[in-house]
Amino acid sequence: MAKKDIEENQGDTAEAAKTNDVETHVSDKEREAIAKMPYEQARDQLIQAVQALETGGLDLDASMRQWEIGEALAQRAQYLLNQVRGKLDEAQAQQASAGENAGTQSNLE
């Protein structure tokens, strides 16, 4: 995945959250913080949000907040996984290309 595609994908995710007509329970500042999180932190906080929802006992507003936080964290984690997948795909393509040329005159040029 090209850097431009990755940046556009992240921008689309952030824009989708902002253009939603439904009242949000997560502030822009919180969304910005999530957008900067490393994968492990997003994953760990997503687990906490899911556990809070599974435990129950939250009122409707608190449940919606946990849900929205979980959605934002899941999107961040998926974005980062997609970045890694793109890099792995590029590396595999380069390795396959290098393997095709190994031991040939074109490899020396």
17-60 confidence digits (pLDDT tens): 444 556 788 999 999 999 999 999 999 999 999 999 999 999 99
Domain of 62? Answer: 3-14+24-100
If we measure between CA atoms, which residue out of 22, 14, 6, 23 comes closest to residue 79?
Answer: 6
Residue 65 lies in a domain: yes
Per the listing, tokens 């007509």 go with 21
Whether residue 109 lies inside any domain: the answer is no
Q: Domain for residue 63, yes or no? A: yes
Residues of the chain above pLDDT 70, percent: 72
Give the Cα-Cα-Cα angle 56, 58, 62 (nearest 5 degrees): 130
Q: Is residue 107 part of a domain?
A: no
Q: What is the pLDDT of residue 97?
A: 84
* pLDDT band at 1; cut points 50, 70, 90: very low
Any domain includes 89: yes
C-alpha–C-alpha distance, residues 85 and 93, integer Å: 12
Q: What is the pLDDT of residue 36?
A: 97
Output the CA torsion 78→86→36→71 (10° steps): -10
